């Protein structure tokens, strides 16, 4: 059998891939050595900017299958009939650390799903937590700066982490969640996923509903204690990646059941708290879970860089029947993702196979730019309207319009009262068993006691006291005990 020939990037055969061309046996190297120059130059350009958050991640392909009828609430085509399957790509991630970090850490996990529907790609870019730390996107860069590496010490600093939380009472619910047992999932397979935000569904009649998505793991929830996580991270920094890859290779395909909570749009204005506040959950007794379908992952990507690193999810990739709510955080995210991807991957990132529509094709007048890999519409007209059968608009909005009122300005979220920031944190604490409470208190105290300033500690203690007096007292005592040691 003849051997495959090694070639340069332009396809010419390479004569020697072990020895550079030199002027004489021991002499300096020659600039005419195309193989050497190209190889070194290409290597220098292998890295691209990592995601500014959620840099570490793992991905897999699979499908979403509708099991229950939701056509009364949305006319989204991929949810139209039970039994219908849609191909998906899912990327899981940690949030705060850079690519070189470890998987088994206390941190929220990303849970991003790309549905390749016949009406275009629908991206649901959520986390493994139903709530978030802040409720206005203008605070996001400050929040992330406080959680990532300090500009001077080059590492995550308890001072910064807790200083930001101390100034952000709305974070108390998510902090309670993160410091509890679910704060360190054992693997990506053993955790739930949440859309977290409130989204909008619209049915054929144009009626609007607000919805929250819940992906419940069928593998069961499994978590690691702080001590177990340290051991796992020390043995295999890529423990989540190893687990997901190997499970799918063995044919043990992970799955999740998708449920939604549905609120008729008219109920939003009078609900007892702002239903678009990302720091809150909707109690299930008000809006019960309704089953929608099953998410199954059954195929590993062939190439991590091409498919996982270059994957681009954007919360503003909606399909007809699904749209945004007025959640301010979501509104901010509608801008941030595609902008980040134009920087990280380039303006033509939507042409990459993992990001391009699969069940339909993109057809528009966007042209050119760096790495314009497709035919760019060939000889078709690149303006609209035109007289040459180019693609035209449908005239049908993707989702129902959102009602607005009042004046422009920098407003606090509607329906906001001061105790709002704490009551669900308190409810979560009171729901925990005695053992869970003890671990939660120990985890918080372990972090908070490392803070160097008393005022930062006091501000945080005040939040736990406000959530539940017993919760506050126990954290305070545990912090004091650790600081006296």
Minimum Å gap between C-beta 182 and ligand HEM is: 15
Q: Any idea what the Cα angle at residue 38 is, between residues 37 and 41, rounded to 5°?
A: 85
Query: According to the binding rule CB under 6 A, does residue 325 interact with ligand HEM?
Result: no
3-state secondary structure of 155: coil
Question: Which of these ranges, 61-69, 285-293, 330-338, 467-475, lies near ligand HEM under the rule CB under 6 A?
Answer: 330-338
Identify whether 192 is a catalytic site residue.
no
Tokens standing for 202? 């619209």
Query: Helix count (H) and strand count (E) of the chain?
Result: 11, 10
Nearer to ligand HEM, 127 or 449 (CB): 127
- Name the active-site residue from 127, 128, 160, 443: 127
Closest to 242 (Cα-Cα) out of 320, 286, 311, 187 = 187
Among 39, 167, 299, 344, binds ligand HEM (CB under 6 A): 344
Compute the radius of gyration of the chain from its Cα atoms.
25
Among 20, 38, 140, 459, binds ligand HEM (CB under 6 A): 140
Nearer to ligand HEM, 334 or 462 (CB): 334
Farthest-apart Cα atoms in the chain, separation: 85
Minimum Å gap between C-beta 131 and ligand HEM is: 9
Residue with tokens 């681009």: 312
Contacts of 278 (CB under 8 A, 6+ apart): 131, 132, 134, 135, 196, 197, 327, 329, 330
User: Within 320-419, where are the H helices?
Assistant: 328-344
Among 35, 51, 117, 201, binds ligand HEM (CB under 6 A): 51
Separation CA 185–CA 189 (nearest Å)? 9
Query: According to the binding rule CB under 6 A, does residue 301 interact with ligand HEM?
Result: no
Helix or strand (DSSP H, E) at 243:
helix 239-249
Query: According to the binding rule CB under 6 A, does residue 127 interact with ligand HEM?
Result: yes
Neighbours of 255 (CB within 10 A): 18
Minimum Å gap between C-beta 388 and ligand HEM is: 35
Is 383 marked as a binding-site residue?
Answer: no
Nearer to ligand HEM, 339 or 455 (CB): 339
Among 282, 287, 313, 429, binds ligand HEM (CB under 6 A): 313
Nearer to ligand HEM, 243 or 309 (CB): 309
Report yes or no: 269 and 326 within 8 Å, Cβ to Cβ: no
Separation CA 131–CA 278 (nearest Å)? 5
Nearer to ligand HEM, 140 or 423 (CB): 140
Identify whether 145 is a catalytic site residue.
no
Known binding-site residues for heme equal 337
List, by residue number, the catalytic residues.
Answer: 54, 127
- Where on the chain is the footprint of ligand HEM (CB under 6 A)? 51-54, 57, 91, 93, 110, 112, 125-127, 132, 137, 140, 196, 311-313, 329, 332-333, 336-337, 340-341, 344
The annotation places the binding site at 337
């Amino acid at each position: 059998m003849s051997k495959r020939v090694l070639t340069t990037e332009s396809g010419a055969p390479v004569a020697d891939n072990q020895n550079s061309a030199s002027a004489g046996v021991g002499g300096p190297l020659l600039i005419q050595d195309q193989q050497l120059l190209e190889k070194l130059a290409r290597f220098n350009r292998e890295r691209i900017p990592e995601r500014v958050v959620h840099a570490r991640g793992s991905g897999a392909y699979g499908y979403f299958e509708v099991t229950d009828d939701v056509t009364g609430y949305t006319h989204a085509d991929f949810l139209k009939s039970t039994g219908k399957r849609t191909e998906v790509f899912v990327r899981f991630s940690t949030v705060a650390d850079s690519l070189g970090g470890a998987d088994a850490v206390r941190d929220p996990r990303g849970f991003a799903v790309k549905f390749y529907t016949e009406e275009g790609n629908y991206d649901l870019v959520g986390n493994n937590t139903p709530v978030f730390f802040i409720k206005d996107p203008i605070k996001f860069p400050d929040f992330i700066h406080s959680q990532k590496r300090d500009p001077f010490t080059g590492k995550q600093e308890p001072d910064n982490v807790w200083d930001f939380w101390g100034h952000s009472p709305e974070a108390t619910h998510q902090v309670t969640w993160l410091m509890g047992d679910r704060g360190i999932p054992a693997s990506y397979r053993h955790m739930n996923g949440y859309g977290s935000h409130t989204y909008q569904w619209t049915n054929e009649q144009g009626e609007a509903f607000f919805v929250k998505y819940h992906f419940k793991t069928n593998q069961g929830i499994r978590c690691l204690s702080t001590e177990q996580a340290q051991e796992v991270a020390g043995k295999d920094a890529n423990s989540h990646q190893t687990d997901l890859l190997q499970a799918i290779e063995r044919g043990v395909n992970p799955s999740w059941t998708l449920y939604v909570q549905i609120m008729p749009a008219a109920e939003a204005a009078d609900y007892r708290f702002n239903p678009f506040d990302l720091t809150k959950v909707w109690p299930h007794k008000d809006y019960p879970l309704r089953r929608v379908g099953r998410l199954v992952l059954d195929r590993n990507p062939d190439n991590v860089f091409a498919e996982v690193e270059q994957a681009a999810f954007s919360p503003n990739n909606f399909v007809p029947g699904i749209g945004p709510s007025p959640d301010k955080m979501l509104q901010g995210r509608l801008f941030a993702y595609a902008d980040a991807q134009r920087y990280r991957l380039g303006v033509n990132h939507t042409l990459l196979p993992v990001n391009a529509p699969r069940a339909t094709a993109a057809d528009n007048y966007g042209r050119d730019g760096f790495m314009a890999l497709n035919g760019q519409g060939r000889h078709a007209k690149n303006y609209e309207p035109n007289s040459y059968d180019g693609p035209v608009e449908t005239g049908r909005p993707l989702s129902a319009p959102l009602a607005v009122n009042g004046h422009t300005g920098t407003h606090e979220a509607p329906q906001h009262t001061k105790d709002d920031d704490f009551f669900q944190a308190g409810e979560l604490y009171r729901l925990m068993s005695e053992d869970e409470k003890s671990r939660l208190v120990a985890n918080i105290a372990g972090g908070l006691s490392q803070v160097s300033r008393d005022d930062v500690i006091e501000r945080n203690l005040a939040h736990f006291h406000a959530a539940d007096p017993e919760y506050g007292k126990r954290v305070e005592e545990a912090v004091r005990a650790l600081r006296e040691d």
